[in-house]
């Protein structure tokens, strides 16, 4: 019998998740059905429980429902509890069990770390700058700090939000927060977690931001490099967009559902060719 999974979002028609998980399943010859479901903005929980009642085993969750997904879980991973958001839902134990308790995790941060390592980026003892203080950034801080960087600075247009975020994670490592004016380079790794790339804009950053052999990472991606990545390349940084993070976080979800980890490289290449 085919096991059912889905991605919830609003909108969700643009999601690459069905193609990614279909490719994963074909690669390891697994029998799953993965679809996209556009949940009503005012009834995500209802959409989720209807999916479960129809035999759904698990789901990915994208904007704007990650916080609502967090609230409906019976059990949460440590990193999901830290993030205050969930992008991966699992029902029971994915077998014939009648257990319908919901387990929630966030795989965004571990997806980012896996992608950085795939590109050979050294995180231990690195000086890291993360731009932004929204949900996307909150979801990646715990896995980044787990790698043992020398320091991590969260910089945001509203300094108080960055400072509050740093306070929430201070027990995990050397982390601070402040406004963009507090940015004092150089950094070994700069991660853009703001939405400025969507508007073709840049945060206000100094020209001496990057250390020698530094890496610039944008969580956004597209057929062409983002404004942030073009700016970083002009200043000598290695540049990476967020397409690999998308694939790697999906692979972590797939592993949690199916117990097997797919090879992400051919799936990433397939998506890159389709951009």
Q: What is the pLDDT of residues 65-99, one digit of tens each?
A: 999 999 999 999 999 999 999 999 999 854 444 56
CA atoms of 261 and 107, how far apart (whole Å): 13
CATH topology (fold) of 3-106: Rossmann fold (3.40.50)
What is the location of CATH 3.40.50.10860 in the chain? 3-106
101 assigned to active site: no
Q: What is the CATH number of domain 109-244?
A: 3.40.50.720
Work out the mean pLDDT of the chain and round it to a whole number.
94
Q: Is 167 annotated as a binding residue?
A: no
CATH code 3.40.50.720 region(s) in the chain:
109-244
**Of 66, 78, 101, 117, which is the active-site residue?**
66
Is residue 160 pLDDT above 50, yes or no?
yes
232 vs 264: CA distance, rounded Å? 26
221 carries a ligand binding annotation: yes
Angle at alpha carbon of residue 172, lines to 68 and 76, rounded to 5°: 30
Predicted confidence at residue 197, as pLDDT, reads 79
Q: Is 219 annotated as a binding residue?
A: yes
Does 133 carry a binding-site annotation?
Answer: yes
CA angle (47 as vertex; 44, 50 as ends), nearest 5: 150
Q: What is the pTM of this model?
A: 0.94
């Amino acid at each position: 019998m085919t096991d059912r999974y889905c991605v919830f979002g609003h909108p969700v028609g643009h999601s690459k998740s069905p193609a990614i998980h279909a490719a994963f399943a074909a690669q390891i010859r697994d029998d799953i059905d993965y679809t996209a479901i556009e949940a009503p903005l005012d009834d995500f929980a209802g959409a989720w429980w209807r999916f479960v009642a129809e035999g759904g085993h698990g789901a990915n969750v994208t904007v704007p429902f990650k916080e609502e997904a967090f609230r409906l879980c019976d059990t949460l991973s440590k990193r999901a509890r830290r993030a205050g958001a969930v992008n991966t839902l699992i029902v029971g134990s994915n077998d014939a069990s009648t257990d319908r308790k919901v387990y929630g995790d966030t795989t965004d941060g571990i997806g980012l770390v896996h992608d950085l390592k795939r590109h050979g980026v050294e995180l231990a003892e690195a000086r890291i700058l993360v731009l932004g203080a929204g949900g996307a950034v909150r979801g990646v801080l715990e896995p980044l700090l787990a790698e043992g960087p020398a320091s991590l600075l969260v910089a945001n247009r509203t300094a108080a939000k960055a400072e509050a975020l740093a306070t929430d994670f201070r027990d995990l490592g050397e982390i601070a927060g402040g406004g963009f004016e507090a940015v004092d380079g150089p950094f070994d790794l700069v991660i853009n977690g703001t939405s400025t790339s969507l508007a073709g804009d840049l945060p206000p950053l100094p020209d001496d931001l990057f250390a020698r052999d530094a890496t610039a990472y944008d969580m956004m991606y597209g057929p062409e490099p983002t404004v942030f990545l073009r700016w970083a390349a002009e200043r000598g940084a290695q540049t990476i967009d967020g397409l690999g993070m998308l694939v790697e976080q999906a692979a972590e979800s797939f592993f949690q559902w199916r117990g097997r980890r797919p090879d992400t490289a051919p799936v990433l290449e397939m998506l890159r060719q389709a951009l």
